[in-house]
Every structure is written in C-alpha cells, then in structure tokens.
Amino acid sequence: MSSPPLSISVAIIGGGLAGLMTAIGLSRAGHQVTVLEKSPVLGQIGAGIKMPPNATKIFKAWGLLEQLKGLSELPESATLRSYRGEELMRLDLRETMESKYDSPFLSVHRVDLHHLLAKTAEIEGAQTRLGVETLNISYDSDGHSGPIVELADGEHIHADLVLGADGERSFTRGILLNEGNILRDSGEHVYRVTVPIQEILDTADQGLHQLVNPPQINLWIGPGGNALTYRLKREQLFNIVLMQQHGRESEAPLAPQIISKNLVAQEFDKGWDPNFRKILDLTSTCTRWTLLESDIAPHWVDGKGQVALIGDAAHAMGPYAGQGAALAFEDAAVLSVLLARMTSLKQLPDVLTIYESIRTPRVRKMKQVTKDIRKKHSIPTGPRQEERDRQLREHSPLPGSAHFLADPVLQPWMFSYNALEEAEEAWSTFLRGEYPGTCGTWKLGRDGSL
C-alpha cells in the first residue's frame, strides 16, 4: 500500500507574483499553505508585464496556459529602434517562440495576472490572508521546533517552513541576513504611461497605427533613456514604460507618483521619434518613481533550513531583460517540485540547500545580463553607438547583440530553461546520494527513519 503524501505547513510572507505562484505549486503538491499579505487588497499596482517562454512553460505544465492566454496579448514581433525612430532590427516572436521553445511570449496586465494566480491558489486550497503584516520571525516556542511568524496584531503563526516573498524591500531578508537597508538609487527614473488603444486609432495617423497593430513590442534606445511599448488586453490599453537617467540627485520619490504629461514630454523631447512623442501626447497623466537596485542576497536560506527567500526578496533586478517575475515563477516551480518529492520533514534543510544551489547560478547570470543590456542600450551618441546601430541594421543577430531577445546565444539560454525539469534532475541526483552540500537525508524513509 502506498503511503499518503507528506504534507507540511508553509507560511508565505507576501502575496505578490512570487508568493502566489509558490502558493499554487505547494498546494498542488499537497502542502497546507497560508499567504500573509500586508496590503488589504490583493492586486498589484502598475500596468503590463511581459511573460517570456521560460515563464509561460510553467503555466503550461500547471494547466494554466489557456487561461493566461485568454487574458494576454500575443505580440507578433519585437522591434528595436533608435530613439530617433529608425528601425534597427525586428525579431519575429509569435512563430519563433512557439517553434523553438514550445511556449509563447505573452504580455498581460498585472492585475489580470494577479487575479488569475490568486483565484488558482484559492482553488488549490491555499489560504490567503490580507491586511496582515509580518513583524518578526522567531524560533523559540514551547515544544515547537519550526519557525514562528509574528504578525502586527500579536498573532503567532507556527509553520514548518516560512518563505519570504516580500519583494525588493524584503523584511524577511533583513532578518535572515541581519542586514539594514540594502537598496540604492539605480540612477534612473521609471515612468509608466498607458493610453487607450482606441484613442491612438482615432487619430487616423498610419504611423501611430503601425505601432499598435498588429500586437508587437517596440523598444526605442537613446543616450540617456529608453522606451518600451506593448498592448494589453485589459481595457485595451497601450502600455508604455520609460526609463531615464537622472542627474546627481533623484527628483522622484521611491513610490510611484502621478506627474503631468508635460514633464514626460520635456524629458523625451530632444530628437525622439515624432510618432512616439505623438502617442505620449495622448495620455493625460503618468506615474514616475526612482528605480532602486540591490545585490542578490548572499544566502537565501537560514541556518536551520526552515526559512527561505523567493522572488525579488532574494534577487530583485532592473527591468531591462523583463525577467524579474519570470525568475520568481522559476523559483516557485523549483520549490514546488522539490517539496512534492520530499518524504520526510527532516529532508527540508536539504531541499532548501538544493533550491538555493539550483537557483543562484541562473539568477547571478541574469543579473549580469540585465546590467549588460542596460549598458548596450544607453551608449552615448558617437562612434560606438553608430557602430552598434550599423551592426543591428546590416547583420542577422550576432552573439552579444543589443537586440537581446534576438541574441542567438542569450535567447536559448533565457527561454529554453525548464525550471521543473532542472528540479526533477536535481532530486534524482540527491536520491542517488550525489548532491553536494546536502546532509544525506536521501536515506530517510517517510517516517523519518533510516
């Protein structure tokens, strides 16, 4: 007779994309999951998010891809342009991604994605508690050997495993690593603008229509900043994300602040593509904030093997590669596979060791990729920028290309990655007693005995 699956209690601090995706995966694996979110309302502010194939293939494996597609746009192409508007290189996305990576490249409104994850987590049996802020994590308690989450209202939640999914300003990371504030000004402002697509179509300007129809991604790169646009299905919005290097001191707050479109027009004025500026002119307001940066957490797991970091709490990175949330989904996939295979609670420290050792090399490389893209896109006007643009115009994509989505080396590294398969392979290695850094708990039976 087969034994029932092992079921442990998991408290996830933070109901963002990382926390909710992990709640889905762990509930599917039979664990009792509670998500603790400090905000009284679930649903992220902000507009769009791009979902590359390494992310969508996890949705596919968990039977969520059709629902995600129903909420998403399927961009046909990704075009890199000079900030003046000249087309430098176009990559076919729709055909390439499906045929090469067996999963699509999508764009979706964050609110829709959040709702899909929250609804699925609930269906899978996870409990989500809103308006509960975690203030501390401790270990000592009468007879309880696991960690305890202490909430702002004084309630104590006992769990076998605590996951810090509390974002780039992670309080869990501060406790785990005994760190103070680790966030720095990245030197850039981010602007988020949305324009109803119908307003663009009402202009009868073919130049503008071509940026909207068919669905596509456009990226303009310029000396001090860049601009990204793509369509969103929700409310038929045209999503615009702008990045602009600021002077010595940032003028923008850390939280998004509403500013007038005149301010944006001033920043993206000198020499920018007239079509792009016409679209900016159609918005009434936009938000702006200071982009922060931090280093990847040097450790993701506590000394006892009972508390771990996931998502931005472990590895926030700039948005240039559009992979931050995708990496969080990969974290969720890896943890879900490992915790589904675990047969004894005593294996938990080994599971978390394997999780961290699978994830850190990929995340470190992605962070470097992100920095490289930023550098290539912000080359000052001059001979190096002219040569970059000539190569983009005259060659098919080269390794190291500024059109990073078309880079023949980087593209398969980013998109063919399968977090679920990597975790399965790691677990097999562990079961053979060959996984470095583990404590030999592969020998344990379901009841924890040898």
The residues that touch ligand FAD, with contacts defined as CB under 6 A, are 13-19, 36-39, 44, 49-50, 133-134, 165-167, 171, 190, 241, 311-313, 319, 322-326, 328
First and final CA of the chain: distance in angstroms? 19
Nearer to ligand FAD, 121 or 444 (CB): 121
**Smallest distance, Å, CB 243 to ligand FAD?**
8
Show Cβ contacts of residue 210 under 8 Å, excluding neighbours closer than 6 positions. none
**Smallest distance, Å, CB 40 to ligand FAD?**
10
Torsion of CA 421, 164, 53, 238, to 10 degrees: 170
* Helix or strand (DSSP H, E) at 276: helix 274-281
* Short-list 12, 32, 58, 9, CA closest to 309: 12
Nearer to ligand FAD, 293 or 389 (CB): 293
Cα distance between residue 220 and residue 272, in whole Å = 9
Nearer to ligand FAD, 52 or 397 (CB): 52
φ, ψ dihedrals at 9, nearest 5°: -95, 130
CA dihedral sign of residues 328, 334, 336, 342: negative
- Tokens, residue 85: 């508007």
Show Cβ contacts of residue 79 under 8 Å, excluding neighbours closer than 6 positions. 87, 89, 90, 91, 216, 217, 218, 219
φ, ψ dihedrals at 134, nearest 5°: -85, 130
**Smallest distance, Å, CB 171 to ligand FAD?**
4
**Smallest distance, Å, CB 46 to ligand FAD?**
7
**Smallest distance, Å, CB 99 to ligand FAD?**
22
Cα distance between residue 308 and residue 254, in whole Å = 26
Nearer to ligand FAD, 300 or 427 (CB): 300
**Smallest distance, Å, CB 265 to ligand FAD?**
20
Minimal CB distance to ligand FAD: which residue? Answer: 16
Other beta carbons within 10 Å of 361: 9
Nearer to ligand FAD, 315 or 388 (CB): 315
**Smallest distance, Å, CB 102 to ligand FAD?**
19
Nearer to ligand FAD, 107 or 441 (CB): 107
Nearer to ligand FAD, 305 or 322 (CB): 322
Nearer to ligand FAD, 287 or 441 (CB): 287
Torsion of CA 197, 201, 202, 207, to 10 degrees: 130
**Smallest distance, Å, CB 110 to ligand FAD?**
8
Cα distance between residue 294 and residue 308, in whole Å = 18
